[in-house]
């Protein structure tokens, strides 16, 4: 299918969901993509565009003639338009905005005025809001006469005379209530709105925590300016997770399988370079003990074990910390208890592996003092790994630095340096 004749491919794709077409476009190679777009540019749906991941989408947008792009964008909800436009250059943005209807353009422009990654960028401007003193019947009649209603909406938002949201009624309740009933009697118990400047990550967290389906967005004066629906919040949550996971591993979070090889290599280079610096730093520690190593090569054989165990124990604590910070489980109140917990866990496992390694090293090299040295250094390394694994992310978070991004190199440096220094230093004092 992927090789030759484009019309056949296009016919094949026709009945598919936009998300599947987007998947197809992502999975073929760059060359195939160009060939495909050359033939199908004018038939590309706006929905497909908004389903594409950023890297590929840029490629596709560059390949599309401006008119086809404007055409594709016109059918979309304003939140999807914003999502596409925010990555475009100013000239292209302006061109597409010009071709839009004035209502939609105004909505998109005001949404683009909010900061990147804010609730204002995520929301759609089409809201279904009615005065808070209306009845069920009035609301239903209103909805039946209006024809601009958004594709997807699940609540009617009640607003006061200054257009500030005061509650919402689910459509299910609205449908099952008598016409004469006041809307105010049907409002959901818990009602949450969010300021347009709030970070999208926080919004996603609120959706997940409170099982929300949609959330009104207000401006600084509390007036309703839009609404965020859960499907967008779910996509944000998914992206944030991906970001955390990739960042922790030192992979550029915007990288994707469809990037160019050289870009991917560059993206990973920086992290590896930082790691190289920390590794050289650890080697400098080892270099201080060259004499000891020449005297007893067993030290060179065993020292990577200590460092490797420290690195893994540190990663365990760090991952728990990064995750707990992301889910707001690790808050100011329980920080001290959690740090103590991690240290205790590190000391318990440090003792356990200290004992195990003492036995292993004792049998392997037959030197009782070497066994004692490795036991003590294993304990020190695992305890300090656990401690730095929890303390460093917490400190970075306090300093408003993303702990997922920055913790790794620090923790590795601590565990390597402590591991080598403890092991070789103790050996130098106790063994030689």
Q: How far is the CB of 66 from a copy of itself (least distance, A)?
A: 27
Give φ, ψ of 177 to 5 degrees. Answer: -95, 160
Query: Quick check: 250 binds a copy of itself (CB under 8 A)?
Result: yes
Q: Binding of a copy of itself at residue 290 (CB under 8 A)?
A: yes
* Residue 276 within binding range of a copy of itself, rule CB under 8 A: yes
The binding track of 137-166 with respect to a copy of itself, each residue x by CB under 8 A or -, is ---x--xx-xx-xxxxxx------------
The residue among 198 and 342 lying less far from a copy of itself, judged by its C-beta, is: 342
Residue 230 binds a copy of itself, judged by CB under 8 A: yes
Choosing from 106, 138, 174, 376, the residue that interacts with a copy of itself (CB under 8 A) is 174
In angstroms, the Cα distances linking 3 to 10, 17, 42, 56 are 13, 22, 21, 19
Among 35, 129, 182, 245, binds a copy of itself (CB under 8 A): 245
Here's the x/- map for a copy of itself, 351-370, by CB under 8 A: it reads as -xx--xx--x----------
Which residue among 3, 91, 175, 180 contacts a copy of itself (CB under 8 A)? 175
How big is the chain by its Cα radius of gyration, in Å?
Answer: 29
Q: Does 8 bind a copy of itself (CB under 8 A)?
A: no
Q: How far is the CB of 335 from a copy of itself (least distance, A)?
A: 10
- Interaction residues for a copy of itself, span 199-218 (CB under 8 A): 207-213
Q: Which of 357, 402, 409, 404 is nearest to 382 (CA)?
A: 357
The answer to whether residue 66 forms part of the interface with a copy of itself (CB under 8 A) is no
Local structure of residue 167 (DSSP, 8 states) = E
Which is nearer to a copy of itself, 74 or 341 (by Cβ)? 341
Give the nearest distance from C-beta 184 to a copy of itself in angstroms: 19
DSSP 3-state assignment of 64?
A: coil
Burial of residue 147, with CB atoms counted within 10 A of its CB: 0-12 exposed, 13-18 middle, 19 or more buried: exposed
* Whole-Å CA distances, 431 to 295, 368, 382, 424, 425: 10, 10, 22, 10, 10
Please list every residue from 368 through 427 that binds a copy of itself, using CB under 8 A: 412, 416, 420
In angstroms, give the least distance from the CB of 286 to a copy of itself: 5
| Contact indicator for 306, 391 with CB cutoff of 8 Å | no
Choices 61-69, 105-113, 220-228, 330-338 (CB under 8 A): range interacting with a copy of itself: 330-338
Could you write out the DSSP letters of every residue in 372-387?
A: HHHHHHHHHHHHHHHH
Distance, in Å, from the CA atom of 387 to the CA atom of 382, rounded to the nearest integer, reads 9
Q: Are 403 and 322 in contact (CB under 8 A)?
A: yes
Among 268, 372, 376, 402, binds a copy of itself (CB under 8 A): 268
Is residue 297 part of the contact set for a copy of itself (CB under 8 A)? yes
Q: How far is the CB of 90 from a copy of itself (least distance, A)?
A: 29
Question: For a copy of itself, which is the closer residue by CB, 1 or 11?
Answer: 1
Q: How far is the CB of 396 from a copy of itself (least distance, A)?
A: 17
Min dist. Cβ of residue 289 to a copy of itself (A):
9
Task: Select the residue interacting with a copy of itself from 11, 234, 359, 429 (CB under 8 A).
Answer: 234
197 binds a copy of itself (CB under 8 A): no
Q: Which is nearer to a copy of itself, 43 or 288 (CB)?
A: 288
Among residues 76, 81, 338, 373, the one that binds a copy of itself under rule CB under 8 A: 338
Which region among 4-12, 64-72, 262-270, 368-376 touches a copy of itself (by CB under 8 A)? 262-270
Asked whether position 313 contacts a copy of itself by CB under 8 A, the answer is yes
Ramachandran area for residue 366 (φ above 0: left; ψ -120 to 50: alpha; else beta): left
- DSSP sequence for 83-149: HHHTTS-HHHHHHHHHHS-HHHHHHHHHHHTSPTTBHHHH-BS---EEETT-BHHHHHHHHHH-S--
d(CA 154, CA 128): 9
What whole-number distance in Å separates Cα of residue 77 and Cα of residue 83?
Answer: 10
Residue 233 binds a copy of itself (CB under 8 A): yes
- Dmax over Cα atoms in the chain, in whole Å? 94
Verify binding: residue 9, a copy of itself, rule CB under 8 A. no
- By CB neighbour count within 10 A (0-12 exposed, 13-18 middle, 19+ buried), where does 137 fall? middle
Residues 6 or more apart from 385 whose CB is under 8 A from it? 309, 310, 311, 313, 314, 317, 346, 411, 414, 415, 418
Rule CB under 8 A: is residue 32 a binding residue for a copy of itself?
no
Residue 337: Cβ within 10 Å count: 9
For residue 331, state whether it binds a copy of itself (rule: CB under 8 A). Answer: yes
């Amino acid at each position: 299918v992927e090789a030759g004749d484009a019309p056949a491919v296009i016919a094949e794709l026709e009945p598919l969901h936009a998300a599947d077409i987007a998947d197809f476009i992502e999975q073929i190679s760059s060359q195939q993509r160009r060939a495909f777009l050359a033939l199908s540019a004018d038939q590309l749906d706006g929905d497909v565009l908004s389903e594409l991941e950023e890297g590929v989408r840029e490629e596709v947008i560059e390949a599309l003639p401006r008119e086809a792009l404007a055409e594709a964008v016109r059918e979309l909800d304003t939140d999807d338009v914003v999502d596409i436009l925010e990555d475009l250059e100013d000239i292209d943005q302006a061109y597409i905005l010009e071709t839009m209807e004035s209502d939609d353009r105004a909505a998109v422009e005001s949404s683009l005025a909010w900061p990147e990654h804010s609730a204002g960028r995520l929301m759609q401007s089409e809201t279904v809001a009615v005065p808070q003193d209306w009845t069920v019947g009035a609301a239903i009649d209103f909805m039946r006469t209006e024809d601009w209603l958004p594709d997807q909406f699940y609540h009617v938002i009640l607003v006061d005379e200054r257009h500030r949201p005061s509650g919402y009624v689910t459509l299910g309740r609205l449908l099952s209530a008598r016409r004469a009933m006041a809307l105010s009697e049907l409002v959901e118990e818990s009602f949450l709105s969010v300021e347009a400047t709030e970070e999208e990550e926080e919004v996603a967290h609120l959706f997940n925590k409170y099982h929300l389906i949609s959330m009104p967005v207000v401006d600084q004066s509390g007036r309703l300016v839009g609404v965020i629906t859960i499907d967008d919040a779910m996509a944000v949550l998914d992206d944030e997770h991906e970001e955390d996971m990739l960042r922790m591993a030192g992979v550029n979070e915007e990288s994707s399988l469809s990037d160019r090889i050289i870009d991917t290599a560059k993206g990973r280079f920086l992290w590896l370079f930082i790691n190289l610096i920390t590794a050289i730093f650890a080697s400098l520690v080892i270099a201080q003990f060259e004499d000891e190593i020449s005297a007893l090569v067993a030290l060179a054989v065993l020292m990577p074990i200590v460092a490797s165990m420290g690195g893994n124990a540190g990663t365990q604590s760090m991952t728990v910390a990064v995750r707990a910070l992301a889910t707001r489980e690790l808050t100011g109140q329980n920080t001290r208890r959690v740090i103590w917990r991690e240290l205790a866990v590190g000391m318990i496992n440090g003792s356990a592996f200290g004992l195990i390694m003492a036995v292993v090293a004792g049998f392997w090299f037959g030197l009782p003092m070497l066994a004692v040295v490795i036991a003590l250094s294993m304990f020190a390394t695992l305890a300090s790994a656990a401690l730095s694994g929890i303390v460093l992310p917490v400190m970075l978070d306090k300093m408003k630095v993303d702990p997922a991004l920055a913790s790794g190199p620090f923790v590795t440096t601590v565990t390597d340096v402590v591991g080598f220094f403890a092991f070789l230093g103790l050996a130098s004092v106790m063994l030689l």
